[in-house]
Chain A
């Protein structure tokens, strides 16, 4: 079942078309990563899904409910974390969560237990009586996640949840998102931190100048772009003969001898990593280290977007 169904979405601000005909479908339980440069249309798309934009065309449905026709029903199904944390400086963490529990019409009798659960999940129990304004940025973002989990929504819309966080807070946020993924939540997340998205998301959409330029799993996007995987190999003895034998292995694009290793560029669609290992052993290489480089999302992103904005 599709939780998000967007077909030919257009968003215009006066003369400017910020989103130009985007289509995307997100099934239940999927974590969809939205990547794009600033001004590409990510936030506009998320705002449409969050019922915060009126002036758009196209079909936008959440859980089969049309955003344009029944926004009130949609609001029951979503949890939205914006790319900034607006502060109610006069509330404590407990009051803040009770405030939104009441806004989401959660019964009074259940509020305390639910708030306890979300605070435990986001590791904020010890901050229950702290003023919201006094929390660190990372804690505020976790509090935002706690807020959107209160009413157990079908879809989480997270707009740059890791922006401005220090490395520790970023790791904590990633772990929290992984926990939500394991809980089966459907998540649409936009971010600039491409490496993290590639680790977390089941699918990724790359948006540029209001147009979706690529969509699919990380591997699908690599294949689509024809990107090469780099494998670092350390062998006991590097000879010209060995290098020649590696170069003729199907799928090997090039072999570059470096100070202590060989960097092999591989077309994965022709030879898998595991087969390459077998070929190397067959060629007589005595392997000390065999390390495929993590997928280079940044290269993919730069290749797709060419740095353009809408």
Chain B
């Protein structure tokens, strides 16, 4: 009995929690999170009090919006940060070569996985607990039924488990934290929106083929309720169900939450099973990039063919693989997936062909409501993925050298710090150029779609302005994201911290101004006749222009002067951040500075 109890000591979990408790930043992050939540609640309450001017009773029943917003913010926190927090739990052990030591202990693979998962779930649930007083406050204002309250809390816990399991699986599968980081977000996104995208594509294809999928569906399932439809479209995305329930009380049955819970828990269980399978099998993987390996095999075949045909051509091909005068840039470009022109061409072909086909499908059915949602969703998806990839890549540039203990050697060479940073950045630049191609393709097709679609803004839609804004957004924001992330990666010691720090900084920049400036202004200036100020203040968030350009053309921020000022502002920010990085490169790289 005692022995059994002793085995239940959860040493890994204890270690993780003690480590977290010993870090100052744990408390700083918690305080910042609490401040955001409390500020948000305060703003809402201020807004609600305005209704009380006429009658104090008017306040009653207005807790629902506050509750929904609080839960919404926490959903965003879970989906944004749970994968980032969890994706490194196994990969870091692999990178430090300490996983084999764990295997040598009495801890079994399941114990390792569960303790690692709990080590991340506990702090995340701690964040959720922070909001309990506020949820209680919203409940007291009325409008929140007990079922709705528990639905919100339960869906948040469920989302935490789901994201944790997905990221844990990726952590067990991938060799590096960078791979696990990107893999976790991509997989999470596919889980959340994949079924909807597939359904919409099928729907459009069926329409193009002359089949009425809606009628077919009605014939197959005559009693298809809205609940069932929602569950079918978003089986793994809790917020969608929660917000439908918030907007249309009573529209969705309780069994929907049950069905969603069963599916999410089953998928999470599946992820854990896969994590268990990968944990040992993929514990000691050699470095490998399947796509790059395939490209190199093709190269080798070409080299052999060239040798057979002409020795001069073969010598040229062989010499091209050694560095010229910019060794770091050479390694950042030629040793990567986007290393050579022909690799870039192949990858672009791989991305562009399905993308163009999909866009053509949208244009072919431009009279359908689904095209509008799909085209915008696709653009936002590509934006999010691009920002994620660029940020991770840029943040890992220097932090990766530190993690692999290669930075010191590089820093004792005569290369200046400015050269090191700029040459390292060359790979990111290439990545940005490659990502810009599908983004601009989507902008181009979206502009065309809006011209031909009768459902869009009609004469109010200016395709040139739309494209101008889109091109500037790609040209300014992606390098800005890269330099912000690089600056954080320069200062932070580990890759994981650099990636999470960059992501947090970008999210804070996108959301912070809206929460701390735009919303208070909008609420406080509400009685005033002129409310352009909150709209313009939203431009302090770089995400505003991308969003507004997509959803409307008539707001004040859509006016050409606002667009120009916005991008000049962010262009200046880009130049300043780049200059700060380069001028502080010596110090941030940890080198002696020339005086």
Contacts and interface: CB of A to CB of B under 8 A. Distances in A.
A binds B: yes
A290 interface: no
B218 interface: no
B55 interface: no
Interface string B396-438: 0000010011111111111110000000000000000000000
A12 interface: no
Nearest to A70: B594
A84 B408 CA distance: 10
A216 interface: no
A117 to B, nearest CB: 17
A95 B412 contact: no
Given A52-B590, A71-B593, A91 B335 contact: yes
A103 B410 contact: yes
Nearest to B322: A98
Given A84-B405, A91-B331, A95-B323, A54 B414 contact: no
B408 A86 contact: yes
B418 to A, nearest CB: 11
Contacts of B323: 95, 98-99, 102
B30 interface: no
Given A54-B591, A54-B592, A100-B327, A89 B287 contact: yes
Nearest to B587: A54
Interface in A123-137: 133
B414 A76 contact: yes
A192 B427 CA distance: 41
Nearest to B593: A54
Interface string B323-335: 1111110110001
Contact of A67 (B328, B587, B592): B592
Interface string B73-99: 000000000000000000000000000
Nearest to B405: A86
Contacts of A84: 405
Given A82-B405, A99-B331, A104 B414 contact: yes
Contacts of B327: 98-100, 102-103
A132 to B, nearest CB: 11
A50 B412 contact: yes
A108 to B, nearest CB: 7
A87 B326 contact: no
Given A54-B592, A102-B325, A72 B414 contact: yes
Interface in A219-249: none
A104 B595 CA distance: 21
Interface string B579-595: 00000001100111111
B413 A52 contact: no
A72 B420 CA distance: 13
B321 interface: yes
A52 B413 CA distance: 11
A102 B325 CA distance: 5
Contacts of B413: 75, 100, 103-104
Chain B at the A interface: mostly helix, strand, loop or mixed?
loop
A184 B335 CA distance: 38
A45 to B, nearest CB: 14
Interface in A57-86: 67-72, 74-76, 78-80, 82, 84-86
A99 B407 CA distance: 14
Contacts of A82: 405, 408-409
A102 B328 CA distance: 9
Given A90-B335, A95-B322, A99-B331, A72 B594 contact: yes
Contact of B592 (A53, A89, A91, A103): A53
A105 interface: yes
A57 to B, nearest CB: 13
A151 to B, nearest CB: 8
Contact of A51 (B328, B404, B407, B591): B591
Contacts of B593: 54, 71
Contact of A80 (B287, B326, B408): B408
A89 B325 CA distance: 21
A69 B406 contact: no
A94 interface: yes
Contacts of A86: 401, 404-409
* Interface band, chain A: 35 or more
Contact of A75 (B328, B412, B590): B412
A298 B295 CA distance: 56
Contacts of A69: 594-595
Contacts of B416: 72
Contact of B324 (A75, A95, A102, A104): A102
Contacts of B594: 69-72
A102 B322 CA distance: 10
Contacts of B586: 54
B595 A90 contact: no
Given A67-B592, A86-B404, A90-B335, A52 B287 contact: no
A72 B417 CA distance: 10
A137 B486 CA distance: 32
A61 B411 CA distance: 18
Nearest to B419: A103
Residue from A79, A90, A102, A105 having most chain B Cβ neighbours under 10 A: A102
Interface string A269-302: 0000000000000000000000000000000000
A157 to B, nearest CB: 8
A75 B409 contact: no
B91 to A, nearest CB: 15
B414 A88 contact: no
Interface in A102-129: 102-105, 108
Interface in B329-378: 330-331, 335
Interface string B556-593: 00000000000000000000000000000011001111
Contacts of A80: 408-409, 412
Contacts of A91: 331, 335
Given A71-B591, A72-B416, A88 B331 contact: yes
Contacts of B412: 50-52, 75, 78-80
Contact of A52 (B322, B411, B415): B411
A287 B586 CA distance: 66
Residue from A54, A70, A85 having most chain B Cβ neighbours under 10 A: A54
Contacts of A102: 323-327, 330
A84 B406 CA distance: 9
Contacts of B414: 72, 75-76, 103-105
Residue from B322, B330, B401, B410 having most chain A Cβ neighbours under 10 A: B322
Contacts of B408: 47, 50, 52, 80, 82, 86
B595 A68 contact: yes
Nearest to A81: B409
A99 B411 CA distance: 14
Given A69-B595, A95-B321, A103-B327, A88 B406 contact: yes
A54 B590 contact: yes
A189 to B, nearest CB: 16
A183 B496 CA distance: 45
| Nearest 9 A/B pairs, CB to CB | A86-B406, A86-B405, A71-B592, A102-B327, A103-B413, A51-B592, A80-B412, A99-B327, A102-B323
10 contacts: A53-B590, A70-B594, A71-B592, A75-B414, A76-B414, A88-B404, A89-B287, A91-B331, A104-B414, A105-B414
Interface of A: 47, 50-54, 67-72, 74-76, 78-80, 82, 84-91, 94-95, 98-100, 102-105, 108, 133, 147
Given A98-B322, A102-B324, A105-B325, 9 more contacts: A51-B591, A53-B592, A84-B405, A86-B406, A86-B407, A89-B404, A98-B327, A100-B413, A105-B414
